[in-house]
Structure 1
């Protein structure tokens, strides 16, 4: 069985596979969370409309309309808060199920995999997959469904409100969205690359710690404490360096989005203000539009951050999918008969065996050990004693 690879995989493929294999069993909970997200988006989109009517009626004399708008604002914010809670609780439930399912399947795959494959893969890679990568993959699914979906729906609702209030100003304000998308896409690529290196470093660090603790007696016996500490320090520094790369790429998304948003807001304030001065817009139209614009840029910034986090999940999936997909090469045939031991003898007839690197371990070995006999295998290191013992329970196939 070949060494454990790192698969190159796209974000869409990761989300599709995780949704198909792990999200589908919880589709009812996911639907509830999605419906709650739609309610959140609708309630947020209603706020600018309420602000428009409130400002227009402050200038006017319709007290009842002002009271109605105030009551509407209370209802909208209350509904938004409740729907947000429902959405997050349901997606958190799904997320925990995903982590548990991935970890259970990974463990089962490792237990059923060929011994040669498990032996050739460092335990640090497996431990990192269980404790780190599985959680990142979970975040990819839950983030894509709740944060990305909810923020996208909110942006759509608010942009719709902007077009309803004034389509010309809406086109002006929405002009920065494609630019934000291009910036986020580039930052996402950088984040995925840095996250991949960071995860590999975390696995290496786990391996270093595991080896040092298992061999602590040898380390102390040969006075290697300083050497092992230096090796761990180099690995830790590499992890820190790669983590900072990912953090820097992720942190750039929000400031860039905010800066571009400021340009759009400034343009709307100037041209919208001029329209109010010339009588083409009411103060309520401008106030409602500005509130919609400001409310839209906040979820837009979250969308940018979500994209970078999702790229980290893709990097994690590239590490654990090979484990989830591994199939043992040593398996009983479909028509295998039950093992019926009558005399308990062990017999090798002209057995040849070599390991994956081509190194020969056995060359035409013949052994016949009758029932009830005790035999000692004696020979120098590398003579094949351990190989013979591993072939008896079929840890390897000759």
Structure 2
């Protein structure tokens, strides 16, 4: 590697480390007293380590060898002692110095470790909160498994390396500086000879460090890919087993694992090469000091004790270089992990509160989409110049082919996305002028496959209140939860469960049927006192019995609220006040069920099953009137 390449490597590494430190600086400030105490203990430990060889020097120069030059220490009190007393005091001093070093090292290690754990725990908490606030556009691109690895694995690695690598390196570096100063004071020629291999050691570490860092980055990326693949397959385990895809997914995962293994072995091999190279160079330096030091002792320019101090210092002085070689792979992984954490913390949400955003007042429920256009990719709009107005208490159903932009329209009202062009207004005011939390607190949502959390049924319903302006915790109001469950036609089946409302729900609600999950989701929505109700395919995948129970619950839930509903169930749509037929991001038809049928347009074709397969709820539509089974609306 050329000198220019080494400098480029160094300049590339330093900004990365400085960026991580700069990003974590606000988290370090509250730990300043603890860090100051740990640093003081570290300095005391360093001083004790510097004093450690000196009792041995006195014993060798005054007791063992007793040379004329070595017999004079320059301190009258020591020179006046007889050899036996000096030997005893030197032994006691050695024990005292080692004890002080041990106690100081303990407090410095514990202090720095405690500060590091506190800082990184706070970083993890903020990282999780930050992820929760990022827009759907980010989460649509990101992989769940990799995000989980960054929150758990990357922060965990930073914690481990802080304690096992960074702190020992910091302590050894301070010792190195102190020992170099003492060696130069004792004999500058011998000190320069001892330090002669340092530039070569530094260049060797840079050479191997660059390669180890590159391999570690790639290994961390592969670990993220493996985590994403594992999370994806576990989330879709039912589909994988139903389609007999276990073998294919296992082979794909094992393939990624083998690549990760190769990268890991490569990193270990490079680290081992670096350690052995450093050991050889340190051996050369020790031999040079021994040869030159012995000659200086023979000429009387140096005492035997001084040579012992030099050799002891030399063994300790090169420890930072040896530890850097030992921990290079771990530090490289930590650097890659830190960069990934900082990248995520620096990610800005597409949807966020404006600086002048204010809390939303109580809404009456008038909704308006004003020339709204939205595109995930520039030039390819999902919604194109949508104009739509809903009066308070009005119920509007949105139908149309898949991919027409129906669910996207709902996400704009919730501000999960912001329009590319145009405005969404509530009671005549742009919703972007309000704080997100206060805006969403006045909207109840029921989705096609509403997510239930791995908690009790009581808590799952109580989450509806937790997100409202009341700030209630899940399950805070038992009576309100039971009222919401009764409204959702869920109370009876909940009471029939082994533990009633305390029954634990499996992850994503898999221990309940689809109809039961939907009714709990409706109860959750009912617990929130909101003027706006958003329904996204609330009866999808339900049989007729469960669909009827859900629709009856939705009818009660919709009383007095403005309802915007996306559905493929034309029986349900037919009972709305107004129906919008959305196609290719545009409103093609608008009116009540009877008006749209009279036009003999796309909606009529949809009802008759000519524009695609009819919904399960509409299969006998030709032989019975629309809406005969359900009574959604007046």
Shorter-chain TM-score above 0.5: yes
| 2:38 corresponds to 1:16 | no
Match of 2:41 in 1: 36
SS in 1 for 2:372: strand
Q: CA RMSD in A?
A: 2.5
Q: How far apart in 2 are the matches of 1:21 and 1:243? A: 34
| 2:80 corresponds to 1:58 | no
Q: How far apart in 2 are the matches of 1:267 and 1:171? A: 11
What is the Cα deviation at residue 256 of structure 1? 1.9
Q: How far apart in 2 are the matches of 1:227 and 1:137? A: 34
SS in 1 for 2:53: helix
Query: Which of these two proteins has the greater Rg computed from alpha carbons?
Result: 2
Q: How far apart in 2 are the matches of 1:221 and 1:373? A: 42
8 Å Cα contact 1:353/1:360 also seen in 2: yes
Q: 1:129 aligns with which of 150, 163, 171?
A: 150
Q: How far apart in 1 are the matches of 2:36 and 2:186? A: 31
Question: Where in structure 2 are the equivalents of 1:82-121 lying within 5 Å?
Answer: 82-121=103-142
SS in 1 for 2:369: strand
| 2:209 corresponds to 1:188 | yes
What is the Cα deviation at residue 348 of structure 1? 2.9
Q: How far apart in 2 are the matches of 1:146 and 1:335? A: 44
Question: Where in structure 2 are the equivalents of 1:194-213 lying within 5 Å?
Answer: 194-213=215-234
Match of 1:3 in 2: none
| 2:272 corresponds to 1:266 | no
Q: How far apart in 1 are the matches of 2:410 and 2:236? A: 25
Q: 1:366 aligns with which of 370, 374, 387?
A: 387
8 Å Cα contact 2:35/2:112 also seen in 1: yes
What is the Cα deviation at residue 322 of structure 1? 2.3
Which of 1 and 2 has higher RCO (CA within 8 Å, sep 6+)? 1
**Deviation larger for 243-252 or 223-232:** 243-252
Change (3 A) 1:127 1:332: closer
Q: 1:254 aligns with which of 275, 282, 298?
A: 275
8 Å Cα contact 2:137/2:350 also seen in 1: no
Q: How far apart in 2 are the matches of 1:9 and 1:68? A: 48
**Could you list the runs of 5+ residues in structure 1 that have no partner in the other structure?**
1-6
Match of 1:324 in 2: 345
What is the Cα deviation at residue 12 of structure 1? 4.2
Q: How far apart in 1 are the matches of 2:229 and 2:157? A: 22
Higher share in helix: 1
Render the CA deviation track for 1:220-245: whole Å, top value 9, x for unaligned.
11111111001111111222222233
Q: How far apart in 2 are the matches of 1:347 and 1:294? A: 77
Render the CA deviation track for 1:296-341: whole Å, top value 9, x for unaligned.
2334312443555433322222212122123333234415573442
| 2:397 corresponds to 1:376 | yes
Question: Where in structure 2 are the equivalents of 1:294-373 lying within 5 Å?
Answer: 294-306=315-327, 308-333=329-354, 334=356, 336=358, 338-342=360-364, 344-356=365-377, 358-373=379-394
**Could you list the runs of 5+ residues in structure 2 that have no partner in the other structure?**
1-11, 67-81, 420-634
Match of 1:217 in 2: 238
| TM-score of the two chains, using structure 1 as the length reference | 0.89
Q: How far apart in 2 are the matches of 1:73 and 1:323? A: 50
What is the Cα deviation at residue 47 of structure 1? 2.0
Q: 2:304 aligns with which of 257, 266, 283?
A: 283
| TM-score of the two chains, using structure 2 as the length reference | 0.58
